[in-house]
Chains A and B, each alone.
Chain A
């Protein structure tokens, strides 16, 4: 038996540089911290609003409409006399819940679908991806509008519609990631060792596309928050009286020429939330796989 340990050290064979890039700091750290902070802030807002808001966010008042900022109403009041600060705080719950629900629905469908399509690439997978292409012709927002037309307006409908709309994009990315994994020799080795598709999917594919999934989930979250805001703005999202940023913006438009600043607060809230998830997604992408294709 040879003595390769010493042999390797004398030949000085070193791991290829591609393996260990000269990294100063792990890629994407700055973005992850920035995005994480913003997202954390919004989550904190939602949590705080569960136990405390400055005022009752749903309480209207005929006498104090469109007031400016004051000690009582930090950010002023809207056209119905509701406290804007409280509404912005409480309004964070719906986007976060819709985001979470959408990502769950989208990934519970998209991930298995994408992996299955990749595993049966030469057979059913081809047709599965054709179906996926057709599904992609129904963008999430359109689907949400259709379902709202059929089943009426509700948060649940929105979540399901947005999730269904997200799934084809997820499936496409997951499929291409899975195909990459399956093309590796270690996947072939597992098959040559008699391991079946389910083992392959769970043991090799999922751990190796974990990065892609996390990045996609973050991006999906941002898309869902945007779409929820748009739906609520159109009056097709969360029905009143639950506070929601999108509907606050809708309300703000009707008083835009009297009180243009009422747009700013809910608008900023939406933008900051989306920005947070986008930054987080970018940072995670830099960390996990810098050259992966981007969806959206």
Chain B
């Protein structure tokens, strides 16, 4: 197999600061390489430097060579020095010999141009150069035919119609397929994919990954797949490169790296990605504990042997495992004797209030009933648009239902005036997804944490804030600082501290770890586990991430299209799903090639 791309001593810097430190790697023809790293590792910049698309103020040095195809004498000398190529030479390579799929499908297409035209454009741009690479069976195909073929090959239904629509009329998954069609249009030698499925739902992600693997295989292209997700990389790549802080720390065939990782960071990353727990304590392995755990744990871990002890105590063993009936009628899920949280026939529809005349009505919730008993950890999973955010706003009385009721400790909270909900505001707290957006950048940590305390004096606030900072594992000195001085994980700890300052009974976690890097995620989940025990909390955990919900919750409700379709003990729901949607969801989780001890 011949070499396609060589990077030697590649440096990327912003002004005087180096971000990528002299990395070396190579990609062979037809090889599929995964470039893995957490945020700030320099993986995306590395990818952009290959395309010559580094932003203003960023510069790359070293050497980057795209080799000619040695199997044919005409192309054997087509070597291109990517770092010194002029605009003309580079332009004829981009979209032709090398192409790229970006992370964010919603913004990567021109909103004012029909989809078909955007695909046609890349064909026309390189027409002369690539006439040889057109499929042999249709040498005279027009550009229009080729566009329809491409759209069809990425399984866009009704390609002829799809070619005429604008990007905003397509879903995210469809747009990413269009991107893939554009990238593959000229049969590239190298496809670069920068987190191409991170913005997609898990079932859509599965489809796009399969498609990408298939396309790359058919065209004989090489693939450089940039991701933070070890599961995703297992689906498409043969070889992986692990990056951290702008350096390559480990590289090798995926089976070898995932089963016998050499670098401690790789081990930690693998453990954290799989949410692997320590055999004795039931706690998630974190970068600090992974090596210690590996040493005293020589037999294969029986996965998920234990959730933390109190959760087991809190959950009635007999939690029923139910799904909605064939005729669509939904039972009351997880029915309990004296529930802390009681939701009945909850619906919420949004009528788009037009200024003149009415807009369409969107039914976000369509009849949801369930209970949560004291001490339970109740997980709600579903893909975007399933209604989980709406449900969450209703549970916290931040929005009014269209019909149905929510009762907390046997008191109705929906339809109440804010003044009569003061007790609820003290006994129920929320931890949000985005640790950046959930802390006011202009408030000090002490003010943020004690915001829910209405009547406390300054001294009392400071005392409580420091107490909580210690509990969430931050130094007391953090109290007077501002949010931007903290990392993502630390900010989420602050958010947790704020949620606990009133000593609530119920904690609602809204995608609380979704925005965090995997190694930080494990630490925050452990912290949440500890605090739920310590404060004797009932927890409702909303997430799109099935693995996290399975780890953190004992009861799981699966939502789809505004309803709960299935609910029951976490393991039962995922291992023996009763509803086809749950089965689909479970099957779509990227499986990591991992059988490490």
Contact = CB atoms under 8 A, between A and B. Distances in A.
A208 B418 CA distance: 25
Interface in B364-399: 396, 398
A4 B355 CA distance: 52
A194 B418 contact: yes
Interface in A28-46: none
A15 B488 contact: yes
B274 interface: no
A3 to B, nearest CB: 6
Contact of B40 (A14, A24, A208): A14
Interface stretch (B301-309, B431-439, B459-467, B555-563): B431-439
Interface in A3-24: 3-8, 10-17, 19-20, 22, 24
A111 B437 CA distance: 23
Interface in A162-215: 184-186, 188-196, 203-204, 207-208, 210
A122 B433 CA distance: 25
Contacts of B57: 22
Contacts of A11: 268, 287, 517, 519-520, 523
A185 B494 CA distance: 14
Nearest to B286: A7
A126 interface: yes
A208 B426 contact: no
A185 B432 contact: yes
Interface stretch (B103-111, B200-208, B471-479): B471-479
A7 B434 CA distance: 21
Contacts of B472: 4
Contacts of A204: 440, 442-443
B17 interface: yes
B487 A13 contact: yes
Most chain A beta carbons < 10 A, residue from B245, B287, B422, B448: B287
Given A126-B353, A208-B441, A1 B17 contact: no
Interface string B268-287: 10000000000000000011
Interface residues of B, number: 64
Contact of B487 (A3, A8, A193): A8
A107 B422 CA distance: 34
User: Contact residue range for chain A?
Assistant: 35 or more
A194 B353 contact: no
A7 B523 contact: yes
B484 interface: yes
B398 A22 contact: no
B430 interface: yes
A122 B422 CA distance: 24
Contacts of A16: 39-40, 436, 488
Contacts of A1: 471, 473, 530
A194 B474 contact: no
Nearest to B490: A8
A26 interface: no
B425 interface: yes
A127 B399 CA distance: 21
A70 interface: no
Interface string B11-45: 00011010000000000000000000011100000
A210 B473 CA distance: 33
A81 B360 CA distance: 72
Given A2-B473, A4-B489, A13 B437 contact: no
Contacts of B425: 192-194
Given A7-B286, A10-B288, A189-B430, A19 B440 contact: no
A210 B244 CA distance: 38
Nearest to B529: A2
B313 to A, nearest CB: 20
A13 B516 CA distance: 10
Interface of A: 1-8, 10-17, 19-20, 22, 24, 122, 126, 130, 184-186, 188-196, 203-204, 207-208, 210
In order of increasing CB-CB distance, the 6 nearest A-B pairs are A194-B425, A193-B452, A185-B438, A4-B473, A185-B432, A207-B442
Given A3-B473, A11-B519, 19 more contacts: A2-B526, A4-B472, A4-B489, A4-B493, A8-B490, A8-B523, A10-B287, A13-B520, A15-B485, A24-B15, A185-B433, A189-B438, A189-B495, A189-B498, A194-B426, A204-B442, A204-B443, A207-B442, A208-B441
18 contacts: A1-B471, A2-B473, A3-B288, A3-B473, A4-B527, A10-B287, A13-B487, A13-B520, A15-B488, A19-B436, A184-B440, A189-B451, A190-B451, A191-B398, A194-B421, A194-B452, A208-B440, A210-B442
